Amino acid sequence: MKTNPLILLALVVGGGSFAATHSNTRAASAASCSVRGVWRGERVTVNGRPFTAGTEVKIVTKDHFMWVQQENRRDTLPLKTFRDTTRVYNDAGGYGTYRLSGNNYIERIEVFPDPTFIGKEWPATCHTTRNQWTHSYISPERTDSTGRMRRDTVVEVFRRVE
């Protein structure tokens, strides 16, 4: 491995503080998450298994977020049952504020399809690259269709639209 003489000189003269500062700055920038913008959902996994969630768009400003979602392929549903009709006309969305500290992203829910979540905080882990946001969280505890309490590990991957 070839050593850069300028870095070596800075280490000797600065007693190692240059390298430590440079390294800490790089680690801090790698740990932060840049979520402002418009994002389109690409894929979702729930407990490690792919999940079809429909088409989702998430908009994040300085302090607020908003998302909207609709069922995929709504135009191909047969409308033979009440469930078919509900899927065609069902859109979902949510809104609130968020806090971000490094990779910790916490949403405070103000509008949500399930009213029991309103006013609650939803902590997540966040990782962004230039055009991709990986948003991971454990769902709030809830009762499933069998009456059992459950929590799911969810990973959402978004692609930056702008």
What's the CATH number where 107 sits?
2.40.128.490
Q: What is the mean pLDDT of residues 50-65?
A: 93
Tell me what the mean pLDDT of segment 102-119 comes to: 94
Residues 122 and 57 in one domain: yes
Cβ 81 vs Cβ 51: under 8 Å:
no
The verdict on 39 and 115 lying in the same domain is yes
Give yes or no: residues 5 and 69 share one domain: no
Highest mean pLDDT among 6-20, 23-37, 93-107: 93-107
pLDDT (0 to 100) of residue 74:
65
Q: Is the dihedral of CA 50, 97, 111, 68 positive or negative?
A: negative
User: What is the model's pLDDT at position 15?
Assistant: 36
CB neighbourhood size of 98 (10 A): 20
pTM: 0.72
**Mean pLDDT throughout 134-141?**
92
pLDDT value at 100 more than 70: yes
Q: What is the pLDDT of residue 12?
A: 29
Q: Are 74 and 96 in a shared domain? A: yes
- 106 and 129 share a domain? yes
Same domain, 17 and 71: no
Residue 66: per-residue pLDDT: 98
Give the total number of structural domains in the chain.
Answer: 2
Q: 121 and 49: one domain?
A: yes
Cα–Cα distance measured from residue 25 to residue 35, given in angstroms and rounded to the nearest whole number: 19
Same-domain check for residues 13 and 84: no
- Domain interval for residue 9: 1-31
What is the predicted pLDDT for the residue at 23?
A: 37
Residue 31 has pLDDT above 60, yes or no: no
**Are 111 and 129 part of one and the same domain?**
yes
Would you state the pLDDT for residue 107? 97
In the structure, what pLDDT confidence band is assigned to residue 18 with cuts at 50, 70 and 90?
very low
Q: Is residue 52 located within the same domain as residue 18?
A: no
Q: Do residue 117 and residue 46 come from a single domain?
A: yes
**Residue 71 shares a structural domain with residue 136:** yes
Mean model confidence pLDDT for the chain: 80
For residues 85-109, average pLDDT: 90
Q: Which residue has the tokens 């692609």?
A: 159
